[in-house]
Amino acid sequence: MDEAMKQSGFLLIDKPKGWTSFDIVAKLRSICKIKKIGHAGTLDPMATGLLIVAIGREATKRIDEFKAQEKVYEAEIEFGMVSDTYDTEGKVERLELSVDRLERGVIEKGLKSFIGEIEQMPPAFSAKKIKGVPAYKLARQGKEVDLKPSIVEIKTIEILNFDWPKLELEITCGPGTYIRSLAHDLGQDLQVGAILTVLKRTRIGNFDLSQAVKLEQLTIDNWQSFVLKI
């Protein structure tokens, strides 16, 4: 069957930990037998949650619409550590702190400075491109990564749980926001260091993780029944 005649639309995928967003696309190409597939917003391998995947030529033309939409994340941050990747995937160093712990009120005050439009530096280990080369490739080679800060919008930050040294947050933000950078910058501001230990994307625009399907549920015979016409 010609690609143009196959069902085109969007799959809401619940990305498992350890998979890159491209891994998901590659797997779906093998299931759907369609080459024209793309995702709307990268999730790091350590992250889980909602990934919108466009199936077919007409759907992939609309990917930028979803990249521009508001996103919601649940994140776990651990204080007292730093990492070159700002998460658990890199070289993690535990710090000797001059304080035993920070009180919740201090952390709440620190978080308030990140609400609204802020200037945020992307992680060196990111997909941001420098002269066409992803920053993470340069960083892995030990080369200098000359990234520029971006203006991003963080709409809300809610503390879900706090049990020192771990902090669980729900973050609503605009496109281009790095939760890894938020974790790192918070740790720097509070002078205790912090890394991102868990990240789950729960919403993109009006689409919720509860609507998503797991990869193992999809087969060559049933995938079309999960496709959304948006």
Residues marked as catalytic: 44
Round to whole Å and give the CA distance between 180 and 88.
10
Q: In the numeric block, which tokens belong to residue 29?
A: 């190409």
Nearest to 214 by CA among 35, 57, 48, 46: 48
Round to whole Å and give the CA distance between 136 and 48.
20
Round to whole Å and give the CA distance between 195 and 104.
17
Are the beta carbons of 97 and 80 closer than 8 angstroms?
yes
